[in-house]
A and B are shown apart, each in its own frame.
Chain A
Amino acid sequence: MPSINRKSLLVILLVIALAAVLAMNWEVVALRPMLNILIVLYSGLAHNFGLTIVFLTIVVRLILLPLTLRQIRSTQRMQLLQPKIQEIQKKYAKDQKKLQEETSKLYSEAGVSTWGCVLPMAIQFPIWIALYQCIMRVMATNPEDLLALSQSLYSWPVVQGIVPLNQNFLWLNLAYPDSIFVLPILVAVTMWVQQKMMTSTTADPRQQQMNTMMLWMMPLMFGLFTLQFPSGLAVYWVTMNIVGIITQYFVTGWGGLRRGVAAPAGPKAIPATPDPKVVPEEAFPERKGSVDGKPGDKRQVTGGGDRSRSKKARSKQGGGRGRGSKKG
């Protein structure tokens, strides 16, 4: 656990205070404003609720982009330090105090803070929940939900007469699951792609196993949710995922996705692969020249990109890093 400097502590306290305020007045502070904004947008977007969900999701993601970028970059820096961390863990396995000191020192020298990953996520989280909940609430399909919705509307004329909303979008009734199963597939595929881009390799077999499980479990689970949930929610998830993929691409490139497709499964576990755009390799001079799945291996860093590699080679790689890492 890295040490917390004063600035971080202040931010943490601020976030806790904000969370407490939100928890106490969730309805008033978060849900109602977003719900009414959603309805105003619906009014301006030709009464197309599907388009409104897409638009608002994109807008919110753009507003939160600085936080998202910060989170991605912090996560990436953390990943880059994994080999060093593992070295330290090995070295000081029997001395917890020293282990903690050295780890903190390493983080400090590299200018990395675990809070840099957690805080942006913590700040974004309530906003996503609010957006999610207000989509569910606005789609009120039964009398009880509609009655509850009537109490969440502001007295603005634009929102008063417009509810209930028109829920038809493309082939969908947004209040009901997609009957032709296109959305469940889209949700699962886009989520898998995003997860794959985000996942890094690690030498820790347990961590690697966890990553692999998450890579498959999450898309499958959300695909299953989509079979049962209102399709308006699935539109929200697909939009979230697509914007997430685009954001991730501009920060890290194809990341794990490219590695998963092109890189060979090395005999050893592949440590975290740095992103040259974010943290220069020069920051880790000891990696240079390493080969065969070790950090700094050009093929690993760039993802290889050898599209001429045979199908057989790709199939050998199978589930991507997952299989390779198990060997490690």
Chain B
Amino acid sequence: MILLVVPLIGCTSVPLRGWSGSVEAEGIIYMGSMQGEVLAISPESRIVNHSFPQETVGEWRFVAGGAQGGGLFSCAAPVLVSIYGTPALSEGFVYIGTSLGKVYCLNATSGNERWAYPEEGSIGSIVGSPVVWNGIVYVGSSDGNLYAIDAETGQLKAGFADGGVFQTGDKIWSTPLVYDGIIYFGSFDHSLYAIDAETGDPVWGEPFETEGAIGSTPFILNGTVYIGSFDNSLYAIDAETGEGLWSFPGENWFWADPATDGETIYLGCLDGNLYAIDAETGQLRAGFADDGVFQTGGPIRSTPVLDGEVLVVASQDGKVYAIDKDSGERIWTRNLDSPIMAPLSLSGDTVHVHTHEHIIYALAISDGMIVWEFDTAE
């Protein structure tokens, strides 16, 4: 009997839900739900709480794939389709990747599928967001490949790396950054890659090596690439040469993407701190909060957003904090009672927060009041 109990209690896997952020275009919000759907949401309809979807105002729902078996006790991973990345919008189309290893291109107006890559089967699980540049969709996969897909046809882009696929040594959960014709992305093989966006040829002699896996998205500022790593460090790297400039140590992994005002990098860490780091020197900004550190009650995986002087950050403690970007003083705190891992996004004078209890909130940046909320599981 004891041995029979073991597998039952031993299945400690956390239920998969995803943590898609949202993106807005022409008054419609696009996001992945925690039920494996892509949603187009109209804030006006949500304010008056109409049933979803209101097709007349451009709302739709697209079901991305289905269950993948799951097996006994649902311990085999992945079980259900989850969406971790934020949709990418380009030329009236929405691009999204799923945990079951499919990339979808959907019509932004109707939600109809234009193409899916691959048409049959799947590539490795997709955790990062796709990016679209110059008619090419770039997306990283858990099979260790960066795929370059023709945005028109949904076929691999010939002429890019090896038949449209650039191979790394481990999972790619990082969202690629395309800047000035170069793609920067991290891999679980501890490396940050810089490759030509057209050809897939490496730009640096060797990829930049960190001591840990890289799951965050790189960003670039004044010729410097910044990347957070699971070795608890944020690295600054010369974008041209790939040489390391400085590193900043946290107390846990850096998995969130940062916000920046061009001088200071605001970066959340899984140690629960939001660090304000001088982009030039890598030193903490002394005048910000507690010697450059603003503490929250839980790990920060969510990407903060900056609106003028107000920095908004969310934590796994279920709270959203609005902080003065210079002093680090708290302006307001909104407790949503649910862990927040999805990146925040700005929309006019509201900030969108997707909690792990599958509710998306629009909070007023001025005072944190809930303008509208929508349960995406409805």
Contact = CB atoms under 8 A, between A and B. Distances in A.
Interface stretch (A59-67, A225-233, A287-295, A314-322): A225-233
A28 interface: no
B72 A163 contact: no
Contact of B232 (A132, A144, A160): A160
A160 B14 contact: no
Nearest to A144: B14
Contacts of B4: 218, 221
Interface string A226-256: 0111100100000000000000000000000
B282 to A, nearest CB: 19
Interface string A142-154: 1111111011010
A128 interface: yes
Contact of A151 (B12, B13, B299): B299
Contacts of A162: 212
A144 B75 contact: no
B248 to A, nearest CB: 15
Contact of A228 (B15, B72, B232): B72
B173 interface: yes
A225 B71 CA distance: 9
Contacts, number: 104
A111 interface: no
Contacts of A179: none
Interface in B296-348: 299, 301, 341
Contacts of A160: 212, 230-232, 252
B2 A145 contact: no
**Majority DSSP secondary structure for residues of B touching A:** loop
A132 B341 contact: no
Interface residues of A, number: 38
A143 B232 contact: no
Contacts of A176: 76
A230 B212 CA distance: 24
Nearest to B339: A147
A241 to B, nearest CB: 10
A120 interface: no
A233 B8 CA distance: 13
B370 interface: no
A228 B78 contact: no
B1 to A, nearest CB: 9
Contacts of A164: 171, 188, 213, 230
20 contacts: A128-B6, A136-B11, A136-B13, A137-B12, A141-B77, A142-B99, A142-B125, A143-B19, A143-B215, A144-B14, A147-B341, A150-B270, A160-B212, A160-B252, A161-B212, A177-B71, A221-B4, A225-B72, A230-B75, A233-B10
Instruction: List 3 tightest A-B contacts by C-beta distance, closest first.
Output: A228-B71, A161-B231, A161-B212
Interface of B: 2-4, 6-7, 9-17, 19, 71-73, 75-78, 82, 84, 99, 125, 127, 171, 173, 188, 211-213, 215, 229-232, 251-253, 255, 270, 299, 301, 341
Interface of A: 121, 125, 128-129, 132-133, 136-137, 141-148, 150-151, 153, 155, 160-164, 175-177, 218, 221-222, 224-225, 227-230, 233
